[in-house]
Structure 1
């Protein structure tokens, strides 16, 4: 097993599997403190559906059917397993693993297809997860707390809020008013989404 993981031909597949392991460990540790990482990255999933991947492609991938981190874990796991299988079958047939320029793109294409189908199953088995995958449009009106930095117009700071499903979300915020400043620990209300951050007003 170690030989398979450390094989140069399986380098990227092993990296993907290690990334999954790290995320799972971080999730277990965070749960000890009463929080979850599952809400992190939901903005990315929503951005993908709006533009980076194209709405039709993102819809086909079912990116927003589950929390984005869950979708990513499924993709990374599937990518690594498909890669190991491809190289294993290749070694049996031609006594050599596939070259990386062939195995990695092929594994990625197959894993995207498998992931799109798998998350549908997960969404139906765990409807609570599906319902917690909210879009960024639903962030409007949320009360967030500045966690890192000092926010001014054009210089956003990190803020955190928890949705109705007890999932934490981390966003970048800056004041809606030009000359307003938000210090660490202050609470703000999200009012408008920009390309890279949220405009917010002070919570009274």
Structure 2
């Protein structure tokens, strides 16, 4: 069995399973250290294509693959697991039927093609069962109406200052804000409400 798993024809599949096991062990260790790597890429956002048709297609593909419903690391772990297991299974069946593993040029694309829909289906079920495990990344629209506190600097029109707020996932966010009212000035400790996203900053009104 070790010789089969470590053979050249199963190298990619064994490596995928090995990565999953390593991440599991690191995550297990992280439980005792208070750290986690599964949320490392939670705030990664897909860059929209300037071409509307292409952007729409990518959005549809991302939705079908459940990339927008699960943290990226969790999605990748699911995919690597299915990819590795499918590849090994194909070669087990091939060995039983023709006494030889499938060529790498055939087994890898086949395992990839099967792993993607399996990942999508399993990911969708997992996202429904564990809604709290969805990405903590917030879109700019989600910031509208949020109350933030000025942490440093003096904010006035065309001179933004830093503000901080805590989102619904208890994650801190730092943004640059300036008054939407040209006559207003925010100083450290002032609470403001984010109203509108501008280029590189937020327009805000004073929290009454």
TM bucket (normalised to shorter chain) is: 0.5 to 0.7
CA contact (8 A) 1:38 1:70 kept: yes
Superposed counterparts of 1:42-81, under 5 Å? 42-44=42-44, 46-47=45-46, 50-51=48-49, 54-81=58-85
Q: Partners in 1 of 2:38 and 2:136 — Cα distance?
A: 9
Instruction: Using the TM superposition, give the Cα deviation of residue 73 of structure 1 relative to its aligned residue in structure 2, in angstroms.
Output: 0.4
2:26 equivalent to 1:22: no
SS of residue matched to 2:113: helix
CA change 1:81–1:163 in 2 (3 A) is farther
Number of aligned residues: 160
Residue of structure 2 in register with 1:113 after alignment: 117
CA contact (8 A) 1:36 1:167 kept: no
Instruction: Using the TM superposition, give the Cα deviation of residue 38 of structure 1 relative to its aligned residue in structure 2, in angstroms.
Output: 2.4
Structure 2 spans left out of the alignment, 5+ residues: 50-54, 150-164, 178-195, 203-208
Q: Partners in 2 of 1:70 and 1:168 — Cα distance?
A: 22
Residue of structure 1 in register with 2:180 after alignment: none
CA change 1:18–1:162 in 2 (3 A) is farther
Q: Which has the larger radius of gyration?
A: 2
Q: Partners in 1 of 2:26 and 2:172 — Cα distance?
A: 14
Q: Partners in 2 of 1:193 and 1:76 — Cα distance?
A: 40
Relative contact order higher in (CA < 8 Å, ≥ 6 apart): 1
CA contact (8 A) 2:9 2:101 kept: yes
Instruction: Using the TM superposition, give the Cα deviation of residue 47 of structure 1 relative to its aligned residue in structure 2, in angstroms.
Output: 1.3
Residue of structure 1 in register with 2:91 after alignment: 87
Q: Deviations over 1:115-139 (max 9, x none)?
A: 0000111112222213x44345478
Q: Partners in 1 of 2:172 and 2:99 — Cα distance?
A: 48
TM-score (norm 2): 0.63
Instruction: Using the TM superposition, give the Cα deviation of residue 193 of structure 1 relative to its aligned residue in structure 2, in angstroms.
Output: 11
Residue of structure 1 in register with 2:41 after alignment: 41
102-111 or 59-68: which moved more? 59-68
CA change 1:37–1:162 in 2 (3 A) is farther
